[in-house]
């Protein structure tokens, strides 16, 4: 579904990705790991065509998206659902309006239908009681859940993209979010999660890419990750006090 072919990207003089190549199939559950600032979020933005690579080619379902117009990219983006870091809820809208945002844009639902649909979505993510609250009144965990509900409101995505979905959350809330992520991709949707939290990545993904200094140092299974002999990967795991046998 996603193919990166020798993709490079830089922010001004700072190289973030250098000749990165990988492919992800539609139903795969993949985690991209790495420290902050190594370009994990950049990969998500490149997949969605929010930014364009300096060189290399990106394919979504076989279509090259590098030179697509915003109109053409709109169709590509509808294949994905994304939850950005911290949720990215619209501050000026309450929870109901945030979740209903896409529905108002794309459907001609009556207020009653809209209300029912939003309630159902919030029930799925377990925050139905927060319907009238403003984003500033939500806890970190609730924020992410509402963002997840909003991301699946208007259409059924082929793949879920998550940008650090559990960062800043306590272990209980992180666990709940991980479970929710797994539940949502149960109906054959793929998922791509970028995170620096190995424990959470291990809970939801089956394949792992490790990113360091603009390159992918490891691409493999859970077993390959935890038994990795690559010094950078080992250092990353030990810095997080992660032990393969734990």
Partner 1 sequence: MKVREWISDLQDFYLLSIDGIAAFGKRPFYLKDLIEQMDYAGAGSFSIVLVVSLFLGMALSLQLSAELSRVGLKMYTGNIVGVSIIREMGPVVTALIFAGRVGSGMASELGSMILGHQVDTLRVFGVDPVKKLVSPRILSSIIMLPILTIIGDAVSILGGYFIAVYVSHQSGAVYWSSIREVFDFENVFAGAIKPFIFGYIIASISCYMGLSTKGGAIGLRRATTRAVVASFILIIIADFVLTRILLYILGFSI
Binding mask 186-225 for partner 1 (x = CB under 8 A): ----------------------------------------
Choice between 27 and 106, CB closer to partner 1: 106
Choice between 85 and 185, CB closer to partner 1: 85
Assign 71 to helix, strand or coil. helix
Strands 63-64 and 55-60 turn out to be antiparallel
- For the bound state, the minimum distance from the C-beta of residue 27 to partner 1, rounded and expressed in Å, comes to 21
> Cα–Cα distances in Å, from 150 out to 82, 84, 188?
9, 11, 20
Position among 36, 67, 70, 110 found at the interface with partner 1 (CB under 8 A): 70
- For the bound state, the minimum distance from the C-beta of residue 75 to partner 1, rounded and expressed in Å, comes to 9
- For the bound state, the minimum distance from the C-beta of residue 144 to partner 1, rounded and expressed in Å, comes to 13
* Number of other residues whose CB lies within 10 A of the CB of residue 222: 14
Position among 4, 16, 85, 160 found at the interface with partner 1 (CB under 8 A): 85
Position among 68, 88, 124, 134 found at the interface with partner 1 (CB under 8 A): 88
Question: Cα–Cα distance between 197 and 33 in angstroms, integer?
Answer: 8
Q: Where are the beta strands (DSSP E) in the chain?
A: 2-11, 14-24, 29-33, 55-60, 63-64, 80-83, 159-163, 190-195, 207-212, 215-221
Structural tokens at position 215: 């390159």
Query: Do the Cβ atoms of 141 and 169 come closer than 8 Å?
Result: yes
The region of 90-98, 118-126, 213-221, 237-245 touching partner 1 under the rule CB under 8 A is 90-98
Question: Cα–Cα distance between 198 and 221 in angstroms, integer?
Answer: 13
Choice between 24 and 225, CB closer to partner 1: 24
**Burial class (CB within 10 angstroms; exposed 0-12, middle 13-18, buried 19+) of 65:** buried
- For the bound state, the minimum distance from the C-beta of residue 48 to partner 1, rounded and expressed in Å, comes to 6
69 belongs to the binding site for partner 1 (CB under 8 A):
no
Position among 30, 32, 46, 48 found at the interface with partner 1 (CB under 8 A): 48
List contacts with partner 1 (CB under 8 A). Answer: 45, 48, 50, 70, 74, 77-78, 80, 82, 84-86, 88-92, 101-102, 105-106, 154, 163
């Amino acid at each position: 579904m996603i193919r990166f072919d020798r993709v490079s990207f830089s922010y001004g003089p700072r190289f973030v990705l250098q000749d990165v190549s990988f492919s992800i199939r539609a139903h795969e559950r993949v985690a991209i790991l790495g420290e902050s600032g190594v370009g994990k979020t950049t990969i998500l933005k490149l997949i969605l065509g929010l930014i364009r690579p300096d060189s290399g080619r990106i394919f979504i379902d076989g279509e090259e998206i590098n030179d697509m117009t915003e109109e053409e990219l709109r169709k590509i983006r509808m294949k994905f659902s994304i939850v950005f870091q911290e949720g990215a809820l619209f501050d000026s809208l309450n929870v109901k309006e945030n979740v209903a945002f896409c529905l108002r844009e794309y459907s001609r639902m009556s207020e009653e239908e809209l209300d029912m649909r939003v309630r159902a979505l919030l029930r799925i993510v377990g925050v139905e009681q927060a319907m009238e609250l403003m984003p500033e009144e939500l806890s970190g965990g609730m924020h992410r859940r509402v963002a997840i509900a909003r991301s699946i409101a208007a259409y059924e995505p082929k793949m879920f993209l998550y940008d650090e979905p559990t960062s800043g959350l306590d272990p209980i809330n992180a666990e709940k979010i991980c479970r929710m992520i797994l539940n949502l991709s149960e109906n054959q949707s793929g998922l791509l999660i970028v995170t620096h939290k190995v424990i959470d990545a291990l809970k939801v993904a089956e394949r792992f890419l490790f990113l360091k200094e603009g390159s992918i140092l490891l691409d493999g299974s859970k077993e390959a990750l935890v038994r990795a002999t690559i010094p950078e990967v080992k250092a990353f795991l030990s810095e997080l006090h992660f032990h393969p046998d734990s």
